[in-house]
C-alpha cells in the first residue's frame, strides 16, 4: 500500500532559493495538480483526517468503533471513524504482507459493516454524508461489490449534499485507489464512473478521475485518456499522458516532452498566478522524464539540455538517466 502526497501547495515550505511563497492554490485544500502525483494508491485514512479529524483517546475494537460511529455523540463518532479506518487499513496491510493482523476483522465483520451501511437513511444535508461515505469506502476496501457501487453513486451527489464537491472527490479518489484490486464487473463500473466525470466542470474532480483511471484498465479507459490529451489545460493533458504511460500506452509521448519544457508552465501561470509554483513544475518535469524513459521513448534530443537545467533536481534526474544509459547525452 502506497501513499501519495496530497499536501496543498500553500502548506509547502518556500523554495530553497528563498523566493516568495506560492500564491493561494486554486485547488484550495482538496488536492494538488495530480499531474505531479499520478499514482493514486491512496490510504483512505486521509479521508477521515479531512472529514472528521483525528481525536486522541482510548481505542476500542473494530466492532465497538462501528457501533460508536453509528450511535455515539459527535466527538465519539469522530474518534470512532478515525480508529475504524485505521484498523481496517492495518488489517489490509498486515494481510497483504502475510503478517498477523493486530485487529480482529474476521469474515463476520463485513456483513456487520454492510448492515450498518444499509441501515442509514438517505442523507438530507451535507452533514449526513460523511458517515455513509466512510462506511462505503471501508466496504469497498474490504472487497465488497456493494461498497464499490455506493462509491460510484456518491460521485454524483448533488450540490446541496456536497456544496464544496469534497465528498465526490473522495469517492472518486477511493475508486481509483483500489482500482487494481477490483474484479472485472466492479472494475468496469468504477472505470465508467470516472470516465463519466471527465466532461465535468469541476477541474479538480476531472484530475482525480484522470489519475484514477491509470489503475482501472477497462475496455474504455485508454480511449478516454487519449481524448484528454487534447485538453487546453496542461495539468489535464499532462496527467492523462502520465496515466497512459502507467498503462504502457505511448500515445502521450508528445505531451510528456512538452512537460519537460518551461514555457507551458509559464504560459499557464501568466493566466493564473496561483498555478504551477516552482516545486510543482519541478516535480511535473521529473515525472514526465521518468515516464518517457519507462516507455522506451527517451528524449535524446533534449537530454543534454536537461543535464544543464537551472533546476538542480531536474538536472540530477537527467544526469542519472544519462549515466544509466551509458554516458552524458551527446558524448
Domains of the chain: 9-231 (1.25.10)
What pLDDT is recorded for position 131?
A: 87
For residues 35 and 231, what is the distance between their CA atoms, to the nearest angstrom?
Answer: 13
pTM: 0.81
For residues 157 and 150, what is the distance between their CA atoms, to the nearest angstrom?
Answer: 11
Cβ atoms of residues 41 and 129 within 8 Å = no
For residues 4 and 214, what is the distance between their CA atoms, to the nearest angstrom?
Answer: 14
Number of neighbours of residue 327 by Cβ within 10 angstroms: 9
Look at phi and psi of residue 326 and say left if phi exceeds 0, alpha if psi is from -120 to 50, else beta: left
What pLDDT is recorded for position 130?
A: 87
Report the candidate in 199, 130, 110 with the shortest Cα–Cα distance to residue 210. 199
| Phi, psi of 305, deg, nearest 5 | -65, -40
Diameter of the chain by CA atoms? 69
Cα angle 67, 70, 71 (rounded to 5 degrees) comes to 80
What pLDDT is recorded for position 83?
A: 81
Q: Grid coordinates representing 291?
A: 515516464
Q: Residue 211: which H helix or E strand, with range?
A: helix 203-212
Cα angle 203, 209, 211 (rounded to 5 degrees) comes to 105
Rounded (10°) CA dihedral 21, 24, 26, 28 = 110
For residues 107 and 34, what is the distance between their CA atoms, to the nearest angstrom?
Answer: 35
Q: Which DSSP category does 265 fall into?
A: H
Q: Cα 128 from chain centroid?
A: 24
What pLDDT is recorded for position 240?
A: 95
Cα angle 89, 243, 197 (rounded to 5 degrees) comes to 80
Residues of the chain with pLDDT under 70: 1-59, 327-331
* Coil, strand or helix at 215: helix
What pLDDT is recorded for position 118?
A: 93
| Terminal-residue alpha carbon distance, the chain | 41
What pLDDT is recorded for position 3?
A: 31
What pLDDT is recorded for position 293?
A: 96
* Coil, strand or helix at 248: coil
Amino acid at each position: 500500500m502506497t501513499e501519495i502526497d496530497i499536501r496543498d501547495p500553500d502548506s509547502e515550505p518556500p523554495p530553497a532559493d528563498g523566493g516568495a511563497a506560492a500564491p493561494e492554490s486554486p485547488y484550495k485544500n482538496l488536492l494538488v495538480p495530480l499531474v505531479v502525483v499520478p499514482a493514486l494508491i491512496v490510504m483512505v485514512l486521509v479521508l477521515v483526517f479531512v472529514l472528521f479529524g483525528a481525536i486522541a483517546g482510548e481505542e476500542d475494537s473494530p466492532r465497538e468503533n462501528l457501533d460508536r460511529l453509528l450511535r455515539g455523540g459527535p466527538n465519539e463518532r469522530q474518534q470512532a471513524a478515525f480508529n475504524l479506518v485505521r484498523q481496517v487499513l492495518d488489517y489490509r496491510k498486515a494481510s497483504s504482507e502475510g503478517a498477523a493482523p493486530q485487529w480482529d476483522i474476521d469474515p463476520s465483520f463485513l456483513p456487520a459493516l454492510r448492515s450498518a451501511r444499509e441501515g442509514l437513511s438517505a442523507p438530507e444535508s451535507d452533514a449526513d454524508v460523511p458517515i455513509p461515505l466512510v462506511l462505503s469506502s471501508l466496504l469497498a476496501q474490504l472487497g465488497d461489490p456493494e461498497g464499490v457501487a455506493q462509491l460510484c453513486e456518491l460521485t454524483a451527489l448533488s450540490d446541496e449534499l456536497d456544496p464544496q464537491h469534497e465528498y465526490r472527490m473522495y469517492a472518486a479518489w477511493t475508486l481509483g485507489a483500489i482500482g487494481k484490486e477490483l474484479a472485472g464487473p466492479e472494475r468496469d463500473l468504477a472505470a465508467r464512473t470516472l470516465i463519466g466525470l471527465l466532461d465535468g466542470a469541476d477541474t479538480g474532480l476531472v484530475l482525480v478521475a484522470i489519475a484514477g483511471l491509470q489503475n482501472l484498465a477497462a475496455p474504455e479507459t485508454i480511449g478516454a485518456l487519449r481524448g484528454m490529451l487534447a485538453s487546453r489545460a496542461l495539468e489535464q493533458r499532462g496527467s492523462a499522458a502520465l496515466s497512459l504511460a502507467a498503462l504502457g500506452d505511448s500515445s502521450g509521448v508528445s505531451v510528456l516532452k512538452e512537460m519537460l519544457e518551461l514555457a507551458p508552465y509559464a504560459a499557464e501561470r501568466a493566466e493564473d498566478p496561483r498555478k504551477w509554483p516552482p516545486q510543482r513544475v519541478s516535480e511535473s518535469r521529473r515525472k514526465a522524464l521518468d515516464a518517457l524513459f519507462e516507455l522506451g521513448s527517451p528524449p535524446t534530443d533534449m537530454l543534454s539540455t536537461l543535464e544543464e537545467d537551472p533546476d538542480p533536481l531536474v538536472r540530477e534526474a537527467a544526469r542519472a538517466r544519462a549515466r544509466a544509459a551509458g554516458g552524458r547525452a551527446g558524448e
